[in-house]
Amino acid sequence: MSKKDVSEKERLCISCQKCCKEIFVYTHPVLYSCSAETIVDFYKARGFDVSRLEEDAIILSFKHTCPHLTPQGCDVYENRPKACADYSGIEDFGDDCLWSTLKLKKS
């Protein structure tokens, strides 16, 4: 893929790499037989970053580098899995996802 074939969205994704270095998992207290506080404490004790949403959902995040990420970038980018091509980091990273800057430019 030549540089001129890369969209602005792809260029931002390639430069950011947050999705390639961190995993987010959503869970909810209704799935457990203990309190939400116990769930939060359990995952924090195991090294997860834990946050809560207003509707009681719990977000677990942890550092995990994709095995395809090299110092030069994604070594399978041109043939990356469809899940990677379709994924939007905005849901997990919000304004920390560089794609959010595209929304600002359109406003």
Name the residue ranges covered by the structural domains of the chain: 8-106
* Amino acid 72: pLDDT: 85
| Confidence (pTM) | 0.68
* Amino acid 14: pLDDT: 81
* Amino acid 103: pLDDT: 65
* Amino acid 88: pLDDT: 83
Instruction: With H, G, I as helix, E, B as strand and everything else as coil, classify residue 24.
Output: strand
Rounded Cα gap, residues 3 and 14, in angstroms: 12
* Amino acid 2: pLDDT: 46
Whose structure tokens read 């794609």?
Answer: 99
Q: Which residues of the chain have a pLDDT value below 50?
A: 1-3, 107
